Amino acid sequence: MLLFVALFLLLPDSGQAKAAVKTSTSILLDGQTIPLQQKDKVEIINGSVMVPLRIIAENLGMGVIWNQKNSTITIPKEIGSVELTIGKPTAMVDGASQTLTTAPLNRNGTTLVPLRFISEAMGVGVTWDNSSKVVGLTSADLPQPSATPAPQPSAVPSASPGPSATAKPAGTATPAPTASPAAATPTPAAGTTAVKGLSFSDNRLMIALEGNVQPLIHTVNEPPQIVVELPRTAFAASFTTTMLWDSNTQSGQLAVAGNPYVSSVYYGVSNVDASTVLMTLELAASTAYTSYVEGDSGSSLFVVDLNSSSPEPTTVPPVNPGNGKKTIVIDAGHGDSDPGAIGVTGKQEKAFNLSLALKVEQLLLKEPAFNVVMTRSGDTYPSLNKRADIANELGADAFFSIHANKAPGKPNVRGTETYYYSKDSKALADVMHKHIQGATGFTDRKVKHNNYRVLTRSTMPATLMEIGFLSNATEEGILFSDEFQNRVAAAIVAGIKEYFGVS
């Protein structure tokens, strides 16, 4: 009988405990666990870590005013305020409009907002450990609670990130955990190189760097890996607050979905030498690669290119750019199974976009003031989010999406139009439109505002250019002419140069 009672008491209990470990997330503020209610869950939506707003604001000593009538939330701050609307990807922070990676949403009465927005709007440092599902918040004003013991692991079983919790490949840094879980992320010392961004697309790993570095690169056979070593380098604060980052292990991971060569990229501080950064590409099998640097000591991209069949891109010699290179992301719209608009004679928009984008790339490679990154350089389809994320992850200076238009059932509609979304992008769209419409000579359909995903998600000035109409017989013929494309490509580069004040 006793045994039966013991079993009865034990079984459902242990079952519950297991379920809790699997799904629970936790939030640490300056190393202290914030008590969460059942409804306060951290979720990952469209690649954004979404956190419950009210509980975080309250623990930061901020009030939250909820206006049910128009679904707005106001958080008054000492100076200024934060205003959000459920379902809207823009927020007002101290009177200025800010774009969110994902719109705030209501989940069972709890408002979830992107973790990155919490960092930007409330001025706190943020980290997210994907393996242990722990959000870390560091309030800058408060002194670090170094004397306070670490959070009780027994209370929050999943909240103990450590080297054992994450299975890392052999070549990856896994330093011993630091004493405080809220340990500040390293700040690059003067004279060292900073890793500003990291992105994998088009079979290329791109590392955005500030400062001088001579990367060392080698391969590992078991398991197959490519390891990039960056001596005298540290992660910039902007990197550790926007990418997945575990401050205990000083490392993180960029998941790569649907790539035949690479499953993920691990990055971290070397456990052999804390002034060295290691990046490890996890490969499906040993793969040939080329590597090169684009740019100079001011600002550069280190690229590991697995497209071994493609010719090795030329390295642009540094020509005293003064204030550092600008990183330009060129996006050829659509691709692969998404053809985009179909022309009168059956020509596909995706082919036009790619052809023009590659011409723009070739011209930009000759410009010493710019690094150029393509979202695709073949007939592939990076998702819309991925296209913007490439630019966001690299901290790019501007984003350009190339398209051709269609007006179903209206074969006479023709002309050139240029789109922007955020008001910070209007000036860019204006300059680009002037140059492009001048080059096409098509009807001027003006600069327009629209919430295209690649524009709403990108965090730098961004524009989407509809060069002409494939549904118009005259324009379809002209759009695919090589001479026309060369002229428009030159106009796009001229627009970029004017916008950035490059002569």
* Residue numbers annotated as active site: 466
**Are the C-beta atoms of 302 and 195 separated by less than 8 Å?**
no
Task: Give the burial string for 85-100 (b: 16+ CB within 10 Å, else e).
Answer: bbeebbbbbeeeebbb
Distance CA 296, CA 370 (A): 10
Closest distance of CB 204 from Zn ion, Å? 23
Distance CA 384, CA 28 (A): 32
Closest distance of CB 107 from Zn ion, Å? 33
Consecutive H or E run containing 413 = none
Closest distance of CB 331 from Zn ion, Å? 10
> CA–CA distance from 268 to each of 125, 166, 192, 198 (Å)?
18, 13, 16, 12
Query: Which residues bind to Zn ion, rule: CB under 5 A?
Result: 333, 340, 403
Distance CA 139, CA 150 (A): 17
The 8-class DSSP code of residue 481 comes to -
The 8-class DSSP code of residue 47 comes to T
Residue number, nearest CB to Zn ion: 403
Distance CA 462, CA 454 (A): 8
Task: Compare residues 181 and 340 and give the one whose CB is closer to Zn ion.
Answer: 340
What are residue 266's DSSP bridge partners?
253, 280
Task: Compare residues 128 and 452 and give the one whose CB is closer to Zn ion.
Answer: 452
Task: Compare residues 12 and 346 and give the one whose CB is closer to Zn ion.
Answer: 346
Task: Compare residues 261 and 400 and give the one whose CB is closer to Zn ion.
Answer: 400
Closest distance of CB 465 from Zn ion, Å? 10
Task: Compare residues 116 and 403 and give the one whose CB is closer to Zn ion.
Answer: 403
Closest distance of CB 469 from Zn ion, Å? 11
> CA–CA distance from 377 to each of 133, 334, 383 (Å)?
35, 12, 14
The 8-class DSSP code of residue 207 comes to E
